């Protein structure tokens, strides 16, 4: 199921949403309606199917709540899978997530969306169902938080061997340089 480009992009949407908050740096890239609109424009998978309408501050507040849930799932899954699953299940139920079967470009796929016109509900349905499919196909340990001591960004590891510890190559490189320095520094 993870071969489907839809799911991979939905997983990326979940991770990107969680990472709009950088807890250690204290940076938040989801503070305005414009920032929410830009996020949705960059992640077309989260838009839903209803007619587009202007986003409001209520949409922003709801989207931030969805982010909190998505981040909690990513942070918790590898150590408390049952807790992460409960968060996903509650979120899907609360947002009236509904699977729909689609036929595009000669192939069939299922997509989880919401039967409401609230953008946050589509965002929740898309991202939480994507994280659910990572858990069911690859296991909860594939969701995690970067081991970089000053990072705490979240990631989903869709690689074959599943050994990801860092959010990006930059963070992995920084950690290996730091480890090398501490091994080679005089005591
Ligand atoms: Zn990192």
For residue 66, the CA-to-ligand 1 centroid distance in Å is 22
pLDDT higher at 176 or 74: 74
> How does pLDDT run across 121-151, given as a tens digit for each residue?
999 999 999 999 999 999 999 999 999 988 9
For residue 170, the CA-to-ligand 1 centroid distance in Å is 7
Position 3 scores a pLDDT of: 45
Cα–Cα distance for residue pair 67/28, rounded to 1 Å: 11
> How does pLDDT run across 110-120, given as a tens digit for each residue?
888 898 888 89
Asked whether the whole model's pTM tops 0.85, one would answer yes
Q: Indicate whether 86 pLDDT > 70.
A: yes
For residue 130, the CA-to-ligand 1 centroid distance in Å is 21
Range of the structural domain that residue 85 is part of: 5-144
Q: Is 35 helix (H, G, I), strand (E, B) or coil?
A: helix
Residue corresponding to tokens 């409001």: 56
Angle between helix 81-94 and 57-76 (nearest 10): 160
For residue 91, the CA-to-ligand 1 centroid distance in Å is 26
Residue 106 lies in a domain: yes
How many domains does the chain fold into? 1
Arithmetic mean of pLDDT, 52-62: 90
Residue 70 lies in a domain: yes
**Mean of all residue pLDDT scores within the chain:** 90
Arithmetic mean of pLDDT, 99-107: 87
Residue 174 lies in a domain: no
For residue 165, the CA-to-ligand 1 centroid distance in Å is 9
For residue 25, the CA-to-ligand 1 centroid distance in Å is 12
Residue 89 lies in a domain: yes
For residue 20, the CA-to-ligand 1 centroid distance in Å is 13
Residue 48 lies in a domain: yes
For residue 154, the CA-to-ligand 1 centroid distance in Å is 8
For residue 131, the CA-to-ligand 1 centroid distance in Å is 19
Contact 1, 134 (CB under 8 A): no
Position 7 scores a pLDDT of: 83
Residue 183 lies in a domain: no
Residue 44 lies in a domain: yes
Confidence of residue 27 (pLDDT cuts 50, 70, 90): very high
Q: Indicate whether 15 pLDDT > 50.
A: yes
CATH of the domain at 44: 1.10.3300.10
């Amino acid at each position: 199921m993870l071969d489907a480009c839809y799911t991979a992009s939905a997983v990326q949407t979940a991770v990107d949403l969680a990472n709009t908050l950088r807890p250690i740096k204290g940076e938040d890239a989801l503070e305005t309606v414009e920032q929410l609109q830009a996020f949705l424009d960059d992640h077309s998978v989260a838009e839903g199917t209803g007619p587009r309408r202007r986003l409001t501050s209520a949409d922003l507040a709801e989207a931030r709540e969805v982010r909190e849930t998505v981040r909690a799932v990513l942070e918790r899954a590898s150590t408390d899978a049952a807790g992460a699953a409960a968060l996903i299940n509650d979120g899907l139920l609360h947002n009236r997530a509904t699977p729909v079967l689609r036929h595009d470009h000669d192939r069939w796929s299922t997509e989880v969306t919401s039967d409401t016109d609230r953008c946050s509900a589509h965002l929740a349905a898309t991202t939480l169902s994507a994280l659910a499919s990572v858990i069911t196909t690859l296991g909860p340990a594939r969701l995690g938080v970067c081991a970089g001591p000053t990072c705490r960004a979240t990631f989903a590891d869709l690689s074959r061997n599943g050994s990801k510890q860092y959010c990006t190559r930059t963070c992995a490189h920084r950690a290996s340089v730091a480890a090398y320095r501490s091994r080679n520094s005089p005591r």
